Structure 1
Amino acid sequence: MYNPTVARLTYRGLLGRRRALVLFALPALLLVISAAIRVLTGADDETATTVLGGFALATMVPLIGVIAGTGAIGPEIDDGSVVYLLAKPIDRTTIIITKLVVAIGVTVAFSAIPTLLAGFILNGNSQQIAVAYAVAAAVASVAYSAIFLLLGTVTRHAVVAGLVYALVWESLFGSLVAGARTLSVQQWALALAQKIAGEGAITADVGLPLGATLLLGATIGATWFAARKLRTLTLAGEE
């Protein structure tokens, strides 16, 4: 269910010059902001949760997920080059699984690791806040990668749709509208962060059992639909 050749080509496409600039820019911005806040205000748990929750988990992680998830397959479908991949004797489910693994790896590397470093900069991991948000970023990365990979297979405007979801639903409605929070990957991941962090340090609007179930369901469901969609694509000359 994993093809090294497909993985290598996907990594090469994702880490091309333009995408790499954005992928590096967001974590770098988080680290610069964290360092500046630490210098100006000192270590503070509330400030750390504000930065890690408000910028890292709510904004940076879904944006990187958009770049990695849609970029893993969307451009190949848009420019038609996916036909060369589909013409190979590789099961199409294997193609989706491989691209998902690559997207998850890229998203975790560029979101969870910087989140952990930013947490240590902000408050030295007091109350396990840095670790909690890093783990939340990692599990959210899995769900986001699957969701945005699915978008890359179903629409030519996957990046736009992904940005709308990430910036409008997750960052805006997910932060301001109580009902929307229960349908937010951010809140599902926060349920795990709340469990890891010290008592009262992090709050989530979704309980851990429900959050874990929804994360798993979203990941499996999006992956299944993406594989199904790819199987429906036909090459010229196919019956």
Structure 2
Amino acid sequence: MSGRSVSPFAAIGLTYRLLLRQLVSRGRVLALLAVGLAVAAVAWAVGSSSDVTDPLEASVGVIAGLGFTVVVPVVSLVFATAALGDAREDGTLVYLWLRPIDRWPVVVGAWLAALTVSLPLTLGPLALAAVLSGEAGTIFGATMLASIVGVVAYSAVFLLVGLLVKNPIVWGLGYVLIWEGVISAFGSSAAQLAISGYTRSIVTAMTDVDVDLGDQSLAAGVIVPILVAVVALFVAARRLDGMDVA
């Protein structure tokens, strides 16, 4: 590695530009945008319903129950696993390996590329959902902060998953649907390993509306997922360093 001459920042930029072009496909963007807009439609229906006794609680329930359980993790999963997975399949990683660069900037560049696509596809629909719910004054900031924290953490974790296992989409969906959706509801220890518990905690702390699994402090809701992202990126870099991509 000592003989590699391209600076880390230049390597990150090179990787980012290459992978970003590969990630942005019409099919992926439209399909995941449709999922987010469906959540916005549900929020509008709830906000405009005269049968809802507590509009704020109902709106938070939609954002937490659909936004942080479906939109944020699934969008992050699709793009993060594709960032290096697609590059490996089409030979882009081999091209990068032929240049004098280290491995960790490739991981960071791939993660940033996934974030660049995932953030607009989550923040946009969930911001619209907050506005259409009629409770934007209370939930908008919490929704945006929790969404950003969630995408940052999920993207790093799923980038690592894409390097560790075959069929990472299946494993990622298993984690989201089974672990976060079912197992974490039965014990506090399991909930501490669910990223959605921390995003929900942000919303609970900022809106004073109790949400399932949202029992962490605001500080923990922000700091723990960021630390998870750092660790996941570190492990991914180590994993990539020992992989044969040819």
TM-score, structure 2 length as denominator? Answer: 0.85
- Structure 1 position 52, deviation (Å): 0.3
Counterpart in 2 of 1:46?
57
List per-residue Cα deviations over 1:171-227 (Å, max 9, x = no partner). Answer: 2333x3232222211111223333322x34657222334434421221111000111
- Please give the residue correspondences for 1:170-181 in structure 2 after superposition, counting only pairs within 5 Å: 170-174=180-184, 176-179=185-188, 180-181=190-191
User: Is 1:192 matched up with 2:210?
Assistant: no
Measured in 2, the distance between the counterparts of 1:108 and 1:235 equals: 28
Q: Out of 72, 83, 86, which is 2:83 matched to?
A: 72
Counterpart in 2 of 1:232?
242
- Please give the residue correspondences for 1:63-142 in structure 2 after superposition, counting only pairs within 5 Å: 63-126=74-137, 128-142=138-152
Provide the secondary structure at the position in 2 that maps to 1:90: coil
- Structure 1 position 79, deviation (Å): 4.9
CA pair 235-193 structure 1, distance change in 2 beyond 3 A: closer
Moved more, 32-41 or 147-156: 32-41
Measured in 1, the distance between the counterparts of 2:48 and 2:199 equals: 29
Aligned identity (percent) is 27
Provide the secondary structure at the position in 1 that maps to 2:133: helix
- Please give the residue correspondences for 1:22-37 in structure 2 after superposition, counting only pairs within 5 Å: 22-37=31-46
CA pair 235-118 structure 1, distance change in 2 beyond 3 A: closer
Provide the secondary structure at the position in 1 that maps to 2:182: helix
TM-score, structure 1 length as denominator? Answer: 0.87
Measured in 1, the distance between the counterparts of 2:117 and 2:30 equals: 13
- Structure 1 position 101, deviation (Å): 1.2
CA pair 235-124 structure 1, distance change in 2 beyond 3 A: closer
Are the aligned partners of 1:181 and 1:205 in contact in 2 as well (CA < 8 Å)?
no
- Structure 1 position 98, deviation (Å): 0.9
Structure 1 runs not aligned, ≥5 long: none
Are the aligned partners of 1:59 and 1:171 in contact in 2 as well (CA < 8 Å)?
no
Provide the secondary structure at the position in 2 that maps to 1:72: helix
AA partner of residue 15 (structure 1): V
Report how many aligned residue pairs link the two structures. Answer: 233
CA pair 36-212 structure 1, distance change in 2 beyond 3 A: closer
CA pair 146-235 structure 1, distance change in 2 beyond 3 A: closer
- Structure 1 position 114, deviation (Å): 1.7
Provide the secondary structure at the position in 1 that maps to 2:231: helix
Are the aligned partners of 2:56 and 2:135 in contact in 1 as well (CA < 8 Å)?
no
AA partner of residue 27 (structure 2): R
CA pair 108-235 structure 1, distance change in 2 beyond 3 A: closer
User: Is 1:166 matched up with 2:172?
Assistant: no
Provide the secondary structure at the position in 1 that maps to 2:166: coil
